[in-house]
Amino acid sequence: MRSGNLIEAIGDTPLVELPALSPSPSVRLFAKLEGNNPTGSVKDRIARAMALAALDDGALSAGRTILEPTSGNTGISLAMVAGRLGFPFTAVMPDNVSPERGQLLAAYGAEIVYSPGEKGSNGAIEAAQEMAARDDRYLMLYQYGNAANPQAHYETTGPEIIRDLPEVTHFVAGLGTGGTLMGTGRRLREFNPAVQIIAAAPELDDRIQGLRSLEEGFVPPILDLSLLDGRIMVSGEESFRKTAELLQKEGVFAGVSSGAALAAAQRVASRVSEANIVCLFADGGWKYLSAGLWTDGAEALREKAEGKVWW
Ligand SMILES: Cc1ncc(COP(=O)(O)O)c(C=O)c1O
């Protein structure tokens, strides 16, 4: 496929069947590989949509700097998109996220402001809000509350799945901002009201990079829980194991939230006799290499993960 520039190359990711991980020939699992986006994650879709919407309504204009609290993927995507559109970008992130993330942001030309690691992503949100209130050069796109986030999935992710697998019965994705689930879910439901929309979420106190537990107290404004048919809790340890299994059994090198999505999809699969389940794998495995999860055993992984927040 040919594109006029990198922003146009976002989306249209492969939908790949996972036969070795499906329980029976009548219950089929498919993965939407968002790691195939230009910067390696699903967030390219929303970075493009939020920036273009801000340009359209005049909020993004000459002299402004895009600001976003993000522990990684959204920042990397915004850094690329902002650069292509000619705007500076500043990311606010907890100081304990994996080193690859800071390195990648810097490589894409972003400025990084660190917030206290023990306050997690909520601390990064607070710090960015304070910066935006103090300095009106900053434009915070705020993925948690920006309608262009779910809209990007409504306009791209959903239609791609319908085009590639019109017989889809279930959609499973990790819950972070909720943008993927809301936008894709709404589009799939319009196509077939019987499609089930299921979130994979971390157990409270378990940190899975990119996902959030609503029990921590913050419910993203764009999230409408009534659209979800279920929320399946997955532990960090199970997410690691499934992420490793994905590479062993299917050759798919994906990030840890994809292990959580796979675990949730397999739980759904075990309850039905006939289904075409699509799970969305939000990013590739590259940013998680330092976790050692493809090389160490589960026990070692659990020990490593204790007390850390960057998975
Ligand atoms: C690795 C990863 N997985 C899953 C998600 C969740 O996606 P969403 O924010 O659309 O709910 C994110 C979002 O931050 C992410 O970075």
- The predicted pLDDT at position 204 comes to 81
Nearest CA to ligand 1 atom 13: 210
Q: What is the pLDDT of residues 78-128, one digit of tens each?
A: 999 999 999 999 999 988 877 777 888 999 999 999 999 888 888 998 999
Residue 147 φ/ψ, nearest 5 degrees: -60, -20
Tokens of 200: 């994979």
> 254 near 240, Cβ under 8 Å?
no
CATH architecture entry for 7-37+158-302: 3-Layer(aba) Sandwich (3.40)
- The predicted pLDDT at position 121 comes to 80
For residue 117, CA distances in Å to 96, 127, 184, 294 come to 5, 12, 32, 25
Same fold: 7-37+158-302 with 43-140: yes
For residue 75, CA distances in Å to 90, 114, 161, 247 come to 8, 13, 25, 26
Tell me whether residue 43 is one of the annotated catalytic residues.
yes
Half-sphere exposure of 294 (CA within 13 A, CB side): 17
Whether 309 has a pLDDT exceeding 50, the answer reads no
Whether 214 has a pLDDT exceeding 80, the answer reads yes
User: Which of these, 137, 141, 216, lies nearest to 179 by C-alpha position?
Assistant: 141
Domain ranges of the chain: 7-37+158-302, 43-140
Place of tokens 């992130």: 93
Q: Which atom of ligand 1 is nearest to the CA of 175?
A: 11
Tell me whether residue 242 is one of the annotated catalytic residues.
no
Query: Check: CATH 3.40.1010.20 for 43-140?
Result: no
Is 282 near ligand 1, meaning CB less than 6 Å away? yes
User: Is the pTM above the cut of 0.85?
Assistant: yes
